Every structure is written in structure tokens, then in C-alpha cells.
Amino acid sequence: MHKPSSPAAGVRSQARRALGAAAVAGVAGLALAPAAFAADADAPVATAPGSADVQEVSGVAVDARKATDMQSGKYTAPLVDTPRSITVISSQIIEQTAATSLTDILRTSPGITFGAGEGGQPLADRPFIRGQASGNNIFVDGIRDTGGQTREVFNLEQVEVIKGPDSVYSGRGSGGGSINLSTKSPKARNFASGSAAVGTDNYLRATADANYTFADNAAFRLNLMATKGDTPGRDAVGFERWGIAPSLAFGIDTDTQLTLSYYHLDTDQDPDYGIPLTTKRTWGVAGTDTRTKPISGILDVSRDAYYGLDRDFMKTKADIGTLAIRHKISDSLSVRQAIRYSKTVNDYVVTNPGDGGAAQFVAGEWWMKRGTKSRLNPTTTIAAVTDISGQFNLGSLKNSFNAGVELSREKNENSSYLIYTTNGSACPTGFTNNVTTAGVGDCTRLYAPNPNDSWQGVINKGPVSNSVTKSAAIYAFDTVTITEKLLLNVGARYDSYETRGLNQTVAASSNGVATSITLLQLPKASWDFFNYQVGLNYKPTQSSSIYASYATSSTPPTIQGGDQNTAATAAQEVLDPEDTTSIELGAKWNLFGDQLALSGAVFKTERKNALILVAQNKSEQVGETQVKGLELGISGKITPKWQVFGGYTYMDSELVRGAVTVVNANTGETAINVNTGDPLANTPKNTFSLFTTYRVLRPLTIGGGAYYVSKTFGGNQGGAGGGTNRIYIPSYTRYDAFASYQVNDKVDLQLNVQNLTDERYILRTNGVHHADPAPARQTMLTLNVRY
């Protein structure tokens, strides 16, 4: 079994029970025998947050939580009065579902899918929201989190998903929405909590969360995490991660609060580019095998078929330091200043099963040559945000406002490795070596790859391309109370965005060494764009609202593939940003004393002026996509014992206008792209998720989750640039199981079974090279301790 080469720290949410350093040491001395229960039968469930999360409502963030409880002060009304679809995933939901990655967390929010590694964000988080790539729209405490990353969640308090165009909040963006990761901060009380977990597939995990008050209104908080294991169902794919997140605060709950925080994550894992597509080989040719071509376009190999080698690696690091100051000038006015420095590194060599040339039928079976992808991508960002918020009356109109300025500078460096095989797995006699620049060998069976094949060769860092991006923005938001039942929500933002870059590419190489390099100094490209939103709320009751809203978004052309891309090539003209607009009609209800939140919305999102090919060697910004849909959500407690979280999303997507297809390169004959009118990539028509728990006895809570995703086309299907593949992910339903037993008021045990029925399904595909199998069934047992 292939193992990673060094420790790392991973993707696990821990908000309430992380085995604190002192707690871990003291677990053996705890009285695990049943003790007097501090809570009665109607208290929060056994896995409810400990003292660190007393602001939670039964552990589930419902719309009754005021928007100002979120990190961003840009929300000037409680969520129930904010005319947008916003999902808040609390720390308890993160932990009860045993989430260990951003993918795990967002599975609980329907309407979000993940794209496979390719283009600007290979082997990094690539969420799609309402059919739009949103990997460049991830924020930490309201500040953009740049660089290609796979994110850890051990230091998260909650996750906030804003759906629909939101450049008015976030600046440049893809138009689908954004994701804000709200981190833990020091509190004015002492507590310690921790968890230790074991599971199948060599899974181990320990977390710690300790908060210590050392002076009046001053506290230090420390979160720690270490984990390792194998990917269930893919025995050759392992990982190790570790992380640390200290934070220090002065003036807690006073008029002036200063907070210093630092976050470090270190990951070492086996990269996995999944399994090949049916386009890897020919079909129905005399003299070859008689296998039937799967109609999905995904090769029918075993779930654990792994095409990588011991040579492959993926190492990521993230270091984020933040200084934040909040000052309350008066009861109706406050100011905030936040400054952040961050550096992330994404470093990998991965075997791409679809990139080594077509498979060949030799000696009675199919053989393929391994292809490779690689990247070394450091990203450094400096950002500053200053805003002022408060309330004022203008005649009879009450105004709740927020206004501010954002400045940032980002430097992305990109290079690939030159990889040359001197002694690899031999190709069979008769196999044509069609990738000579990569060396010799590196062959494996298409249907039975061997990850233990030996490899010797050269891995050299290639030339470095870089880009420097500067942005400046000014924004303002206001919620105007016109009458007791009528609210007007408005916002506007102006952005200035510029980038310049240097592209260096290998023009020629020999045996893994670059012998000639092409250098292009790219001119500065800059854009100014203005975005806004307007929404009107009617409130039948204080705990409900009916709303209509309109919002816009702008996507500069340099970030379509992800912020870590270097600038466009010199041959490309400076294009206008793509424009996305959305209209949404919805309603929100808070029930049972604000213990349960229900929401529903219909929406229509249009993306225009995308660059497409309109004739041979001629492109214009006239591409267009459209997504119409319905979204329903539920969050909170139906009864004191019964908790629910989930929803349903319907999306009817269409490529309204795509590129043309060149039929004859000699004559220039073209045809309308066959994808026009087709659904968009990574945009399933139906998605459903529901996680629920029920306290059957005072110490015992049981529950589980159900998740459904309908047929989903791959990344080459329906993009603005077209594509002729019909690769798709078949629909699937996944079930999870959950149980928790409260041993006493300080200790509980939690059991999770992920993918309970061991459903075999595909999690994502780019539609061109590969598809990624989802993890198989996994069982995890967690001991939670809190003081």
C-alpha cells in the first residue's frame, strides 16, 4: 500500500470537541462510568457544542442569527431580512457529519458541486455554485483566500454560502456565489475540548481547542489538529496532515478589541487523478476485446484502480496571519480595520491517466502509457479592509449601513516540473512509444494498473511564470426600514483591478533538462467595473419575509480558470469582464421561537459576453449561459429532540450560445456548436441533501444523512468554449449514519458511517482526461471530551 512521505494536516472541521492538549493527557483519568447528567431530555443533542459555542441554537445556525454575527459586516440586516439565498453551516453540523474537507462540508448544501482538477485549479478546491466555477470566490473571515488549495476545517466556527452573483459583496467573481469560512476566535471564558478518532482505512485524527483568559477581557485560544489515513476504496491513496491555529485577543466585549491570529496547515498526500475515460481507447475494432463501451463515457475499471506511482507527491502549505481591530465609537457607529498576510504553496507531480496518449491493444490486452501533470504554485497576498458600520435616521427612515475600502496585492508564481523516465515499467513488445519526450517505459495495463511499478528518472523544476495582481474597491450597503413591514436593501461596489505577468515556457528539452526557454513579458491589463444589488422585503410577521432581489457580478478574463493563473498570453487581446445578472424571488420563515428556519426561492441567472469562437480564427464576446431554478432549505429543530438540516435545488441550465465547430480547416467551413442548447457542465438538474438527528434517550442520539445528485455533465460539456464530449456522471444517492452516546456531562462517543450502503459513484469529472471515484464506505469512532 502506497504511503505519503511526510506528515501533514488536513481537512477536518472541529468546533466543539477537539481533544485539548490538557484534555488528551487527562482522558485516561476521566470517570467514564455514567455520571449525573447535567442536561435534561429536552437539552441540546449529545453532540451539541460545548462551552466554546454557547451562541449556537442547538448547534444549528438558523436564520434567527443576526447577519452581524457573521464575519462580514456587509450584511446590514438579520438573515431572515436579507434578500439573498444564504446557507449557514454551523460547527455542530460540520462535526456531526464528520466533515474533514470543504467538499464534505458543502455536500450538505444542495446546488453545489465540485469540478475535477484541470486548467487553472488542478488538485485544488473547485466548487461550482449554480453552474458557475467559484474556486476563486472563497474567503476566510471576509477576506479573499487566494491560491490553489485543499482546505482544512479544524479551525472553523461555521461556513457561510452566498448563492447567486455577489460581486457587490466580494468583488471580482464568477457569478455563482461565494463561500466564507468563519474561523474560531478567543472568548472571555476558560474552556478546553478535544477529540480523538479512529476508523477503517487506517484513519486516525486528533484535535484540540483550548481557550484561556489571562487578564480582564483578554484571552488566548489554540486549535491543533493531526490526521492520517487512506482514501476509502482507493487503497494506494494515503494522506497525512497537521495544523495549528493560535489567536490572541485584547478588549473582548469592550468598545475596542484587537485580535491577532495565525493559521498554519501542512499536507502531504498521494495525488489522485482518478480513472480514465472511454476516450482513452478505441471501441468496436476487429481484433480487440469485446467490452461494451459505458454510455457515461467513464471507463468501467475497479473502484481502487490507481494509475499513479510512488514517484507522485502532493505537498501543500498555508500560512495566514491576520490583525483585526474593532472600535465602537458610539452605540450607533463602529469601525473595523483588518490586515492580512498569507502565503500558500501547492506543489505536486501526479499521474494523469488520460494524458499519455491513446491506449493500445497489444498481446491480447489494453496497455497505456502514463501521462503526468505537475505544478509548483506559491501565492502571496497582502490585503487590507477598512469599514464603518452603524445606524442613523433620515427623517422617518431608519438606516443600517456598512461602507468600506478594500486593497490587495497578490503575487502568483507558476512552474511545472520537467519529468523524464530513465527506468520505468516496460511497455510490451509492439507498443508504440508516442510520448518520447518523457523517456522510456511508464506503461501499465489500462484495466489493471499497478501502483507498485518501479520508477527511476529525473524531476527538475521548470521555468517560472508569474503575475502580480492589484485591486482596490470601495463599497456601501444600506438596509432602509421604510415601514414596519417593508425593507429596502441596497448595495453598490466599484472595483479597480489590474494584472501584469511574465510567461516562461520550455521551448525545447533533453532528458528532463530545459535547453531553450521562451520568455514573454506581458503588458499590464486593467479593468474598472461597477456592481450593485437591490432587494425589497415584505414582512408578514417579525419572523418571516417575502423578497425580490436583483444582483450583478463581473468576471475579469484572467481569473476564469482560477486566481492562481498567470496572465493571458500576449497573443490575446485585453477582453472585457464577463457580466452575470440574477433575479431572485423568495421567502423565509423562522418558526417555533426561531428554533427552525425555512427558506424558498426561485431564481434566474444569466452570464453574457463570454468569449467564443464565431468563425475560423475569429472570436467575439457574445457567448451566453443561463440557469433557472428553485431552491428550498430547512435548518434547526422541529421538536426539542429532532434536528434537521438540508434542502433541495432544481437547476435548468442551458448554453444559450456557444462557440462554432471548425468542420474543414482547409476551407474554413464552420458549423454551429452541437453544445448550444445543452445543459452546462457541473450543473445537475436535481440535488437534495438532508442530515437529521433525533434524541431517542437522554444519553443517546441517532441520525443520518441522505444526499442525491442527478446526472451531471463533465467539464468539457457546455462551456462557453464548446466541446463535443458527452461525458457525464450518472445520478447517485448516498446515505450516511450517525449515533452519539453521552457518557457524562464531559464525555461523549460519536459513531459515523460514511457512504453506508457502499454506493459506487463518481464524484467529479473534467470530461476530458479523467473521472474521480467517490470514497467507499468508512466507519469512524470519535471520543469527545470537554472541560
Residue 572: half-sphere exposure toward Cβ, Cα within 13 Å: 16
Q: How far, in Å, CA of 75 to CA of 96, rounded? A: 28
Across-strand partners of 455? 424
Q: What is the pLDDT of residue 46?
A: 30
Give pLDDT, residue 664. Answer: 59
Give the mean model confidence (pLDDT) for residues 278-295. Answer: 91
With H, G, I as helix, E, B as strand and everything else as coil, classify residue 51.
helix
Q: Which residue has the cell 428553485?
A: 630
Query: By the 8 A CB rule, do 53 and 65 touch?
Result: no
Do residues 268 and 314 make contact, with C-beta atoms less than 8 angstroms apart?
yes
Residue 511 confidence (pLDDT): 87
Residue 56, number of CB atoms within 10 A of its CB: 21
3-class state of residue 523 by DSSP: coil
Label residue 38 by pLDDT band (50, 70, 90).
very low
Residues 6+ positions from 42 with CB-CB distance below 8 Å: 640, 641
State the pLDDT at residue 667.
59
pLDDT for 121? 55
The residue whose grid cell reads 448516498 is: 734
**Strand ranges (E), 270-396:** 275-276, 313-330, 333-352, 360-362, 365-369, 371-394
Collapsing DSSP states into helix, strand and coil, what is residue 405?
A: strand
pLDDT of residue 65 exceeding 90, the answer is: no
> Which is nearest to 736 in space by CA: 101, 108, 87?
108
C-alpha angle 774-181-74 in degrees, rounded to nearest 5: 140
- In residues, how long is the chain? 787
Pairing of the two strands 177-183 and 138-140: parallel
**447-474 residue pLDDT tens:** 999 999 999 999 999 999 999 999 999 9
Q: What is the mean pLDDT of residues 431-437?
A: 74
Neighbouring C-beta atoms of residue 448, cutoff 10 Å: 11
Measured between its terminal Cα atoms, the distance across the chain in Å is 39
Averaged pLDDT, 123-149 = 85
Eight-state DSSP code of residue 427:
P
**Which pLDDT score is estimated for 151?**
87
Q: Which three cell numbers stand for residue 682?
A: 457541473
Residue 575 has pLDDT above 50, yes or no: yes
pLDDT at 25 over 80: no
Q: Which residues, other chains included, contact 440 with Cβ-Cβ below 8 Å and sequence gap of 6+?
A: 421, 422, 423, 424, 433
Span 733-785, pLDDT tens digits = 999 999 999 999 999 999 999 999 999 999 988 888 889 999 999 999 999 99
pTM, two decimals, is 0.87
Calculate what percentage of the chain has a pLDDT beyond 90. Answer: 63
Q: Residue 396: CB partners within 8 Å, gap ≥ 6?
A: none
- Whether the pLDDT of residue 486 is over 90: the answer is yes
Q: So what's the pLDDT on residue 3?
A: 42
Pairwise CA distance, residues 371 & 352, whole Å: 5
pLDDT above 80: residue 538? yes
**Contact (Cβ atoms closer than 8 angstroms) between residue 203 and residue 212:** no
For residue 393, report the phi and psi dihedrals to the nearest 5 degrees.
Answer: -110, 135
Calpha distance 242→224 (Å, rounded): 8
pLDDT band at 567 (very low <50, low <70, confident <90, very high): very low
pLDDT digits (tens, 9 = 90+) for 155-179: 999 999 999 988 999 898 878 899 9
- Residue ranges of domains in the chain: 79-786
Mean pLDDT in residue range 502-512: 89
Q: Which of 226, 201, 230 is nearest to 2 (CA)?
A: 230
Is the Cβ–Cβ distance between 378 and 345 less than 8 Å?
A: yes
What is the pLDDT, as a whole number, of residue 314? Answer: 94
| pLDDT at residue 768, rounded to an integer | 81
Q: E strands along 357-510, which residues?
A: 360-362, 365-369, 371-394, 397-414, 417-424, 443-445, 455-461, 465-481, 486-510
The rounded mean pLDDT for the chain is 84
pLDDT in the model for residue 24: 31
Give the CATH number of domain 79-786: 2.40.170.20
Cross-strand partners of 384:
339, 407
> Cβ distance 92 to 666 under 8 Å?
no
The confidence score (pLDDT) of residue 569 equals 39
pLDDT 10s digits, 392-428: 999 999 999 999 999 999 999 999 999 999 998 989 9
